[in-house]
């Protein structure tokens, strides 16, 4: 059942990876024709979490009148309603302003173009999940800029198996300017709150790929964490079955990674990169149209750093970021994103 209600819909508006305006005076941008060699088939597998074989189509929900309840909600929905990807259920209508139509509902399959609802993947409260992004509290102008990048083909994943990015590009290309403005202003109006608990550890629960993130296997078996971050739902049933937008996440990170990331983020790691705060603001909580980074999904942030580095994410912001990320290795990306995720949003 874990994958039965989550189709490949919206990817993410995104959070522009990292770092400061010092990038503008860093090493000159390489021409597009000088891009590095193509990345491996599945780079950063802990962050992209791509399945080699797509999951089977979701089974039709039984026509059962029984009402189900997500933890903490006084709303009740049938399983058919919960699995309705065109009209995602709203467990906590008091947690957010009134949703614009494009956030609350997809366009009818009979309407051309077909467009998914923003709230399905990013949740009505904008917190999102590791396979897409948390977009609550991003600047509206930044969201619109990312929609343009998706529409124009400037945002593609370094792992082409990550299919929801292509879906997001289709959505961005099909919505009207007014719909985009409404969605951007809606998500921008909400504050991002603590959503991810970062835990340094040497071992993690054995897990399976849930088509975009990681679900603990039954039992209590552990394995070494190695050089990866594993984002797992606090409660797998609440997340996968009910899509509870209040049920948060744990990010397991290697021992010492937060401190190593702090050195890179705050001081540039002895010239390996540049500090982030000049652009992204005090405590990395955003600055004008530069997006906040604190408390955001480490898997998502890692993908953006890697995509920019490998020339699959472009656009004005990515061009500015290119010299900032070019010297980072995969361990640096892990450490940076572990530190950022550990901060209060």
Q: How large is the average pLDDT for residues 158-186?
A: 94
- For residue 4, pLDDT over 70 is answered with no
The pLDDT of residue 25: 35
> What's the whole-number mean pLDDT along residues 126-143?
97
Comparing CA positions, the residue from 5, 114, 117 lying closest to residue 57 is: 5
Average pLDDT, the chain: 88
CA distance 274 to 281: 14
Mean pLDDT score, 297-316:
96
In sequence order, what are the residues at sequence separation of 6 or more whose Cβ sits closer than 8 angstroms to the Cβ of residue 92? 72, 73, 75, 124, 125, 245, 246
d(CA 29, CA 52): 34
Mean pLDDT, range 187-196, rounded to an integer: 97
């Amino acid at each position: 059942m874990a994958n039965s209600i989550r189709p490949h819909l919206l990817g993410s508006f995104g959070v522009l990876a990292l770092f400061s305006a010092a990038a503008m005076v860093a090493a000159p941008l390489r021409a597009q024709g000088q891009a590095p060699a193509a990345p491996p088939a599945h780079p950063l597998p802990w962050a992209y979490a791509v399945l080699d074989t797509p999951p089977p189509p979701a089974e039709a929900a039984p026509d059962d009148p029984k009402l189900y309840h997500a933890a903490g909600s006084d709303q009740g929905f049938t399983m058919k309603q919960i699995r309705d990807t065109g009209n995602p259920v709203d467990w906590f209508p008091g947690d957010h302003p009134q949703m614009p139509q494009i956030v609350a509902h997809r366009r009818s399959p009979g309407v051309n173009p077909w467009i998914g609802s923003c709230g399905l993947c990013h949740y009505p409260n904008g917190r999102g999940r590791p396979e897409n992004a948390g977009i609550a509290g991003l600047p509206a102008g930044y969201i619109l800029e990312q929609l343009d990048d998706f529409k124009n083909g400037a945002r593609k994943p370094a792992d082409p198996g990550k299919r929801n990015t292509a879906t997001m590009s289709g959505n961005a290309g099909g919505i009207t300017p007014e719909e985009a403005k409404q969605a951007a202003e809606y998500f921008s109006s909400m504050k991002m709150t603590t959503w991810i608990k970062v835990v340094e550890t040497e071992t993690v629960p054995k897990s399976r790929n849930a088509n975009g993130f990681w679900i603990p296997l039954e039992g209590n078996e552990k394995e070494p964490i190695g050089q990866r971050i594993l984002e797992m739902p606090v409660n797998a049933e609440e997340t996968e079955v009910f899509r509870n937008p209040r049920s948060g996440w744990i990010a397991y990170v290697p021992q010492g990674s937060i401190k190593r990331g702090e050195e890179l983020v705050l001081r540039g790691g002895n010239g390996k990169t540049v500090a982030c705060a000049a652009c992204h603001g005090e405590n990395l909580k955003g600055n004008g149209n530069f997006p906040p980074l604190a408390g955001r999904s480490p898997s998502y942030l890692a993908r953006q750093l890697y995509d920019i580095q490998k020339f699959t994410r472009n656009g004005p912001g990515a061009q500015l970021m290119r010299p900032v990320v070019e010297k980072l290795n995969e361990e640096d990306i892990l450490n940076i994103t572990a530190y950022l995720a550990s901060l209060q949003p």
